[in-house]
Structure 1
Amino acid sequence: MTHQLPPPRRILVAGVSGAGKTTLCREVARRSGIPHTEIDALFHGPGWTPRPEFAAEVKCLAAQDAWVTEWQYDAARPLLAEHADRLLWLDFPFWAVTFPRVVRRTVRRSLCREVLWNGNREAPLRSILTDPEHILRWALVTRHVYRERIPALARTTPPLRMVGLHSSREARAWLAATWPHRPGAAD
């Protein structure tokens, strides 16, 4: 007989820009009933300025019994990792999957002038030429950081169970295996 671990209650989702962190967080929340807190909404104030309440709100989030959020922002990563029981690493092929996703999302948000967190909007597409922190440039520059961060986290936070997911298919399979029946769904 194999021993199956109980489903996680405090879940981090890691990955580069465009990997699908927030999408996976929302799906975990939908299937599990665990609340999703979008970390970008806690971090970004009007004008893309960091919110002064960010650290205190992350501390409150980490202390809750159950949550799912994205593993972002240096000020939040250590505290969230210390309290999480599972980290899902979306380690998808960058050029085939992640970069096309971030391009589509950025173009849609920019052209539609989509309102994001606290009234912010995606930068105009033309600013990619002048803004070193434009999301498309950021995605390119930071595409390898998790290959260093995840092994370091495994060394410093051994109780945190980590799951590497290398495709959308693997992510769906992990979800189905972890929560085969959604709360409130007909059996």
Structure 2
Amino acid sequence: MSLKIYWDRVTEKHSIKLMNYLNERISGLTETYDMVGDMKITNLSLGSKPPKFEIVQISDPDALILGSKSPNGIELRAKISYDGDAFIEIQAEFKVNLPTPNFISFPVNVKVSNPIFSGIATVIYDTDKVCFCFLPENGDSPDDFTPLKDVKFETQLGDSAQQVLVDLDKLQNFIVDLIKTYLKKYLVFPNKMTIPLNEFNN
């Protein structure tokens, strides 16, 4: 059974909330990459096209996913796919660490757009929270699975008033790895995103 999503009810306020949520969690992911300094998302849009959902199962919550048994919750599993015009814009610092650390730094602006992803997702509605995650498919381990299939890049390295280098493969590969790492760390089981229900009322 497919679900109809009223995507026009998603407003700029929701995009800003999501951007702030991601910025709170993205800083620690750059610590293992010595060529990248401070990073933040400066703009985010959830796009005009909704994702597609096809319900696979409705049941009591899976205690392994939720973390405990819940007599009052409900779990929905669905095939989810997206091929739309959502985007995020990222501002970061690209560092050259030779001959000394932080020898040279460049401002970097990256626009990541038109993502394509698919997978089995589960949403658990409990009494005081909502949990969401993707489930590895076809026997994949969490380390091998990613729902992200493709994405478009526009990359600018340097000051726009000076010389600019565009489409840097190394930087783009880093951004792809960063996104996949973020998805695995927060959105692929056994990890999950948990949102208190009072967040929806703010």
Say which structure is richer in strand.
2
The TM-score range, normalised by the shorter chain, is under 0.3
Could you tell me the TM-score, scaled by structure 2's length?
0.24
Could you tell me the TM-score, scaled by structure 1's length?
0.25
Bigger relative contact order, structure 1 or 2, given CA contacts below 8 A and separation 6+?
Answer: 1
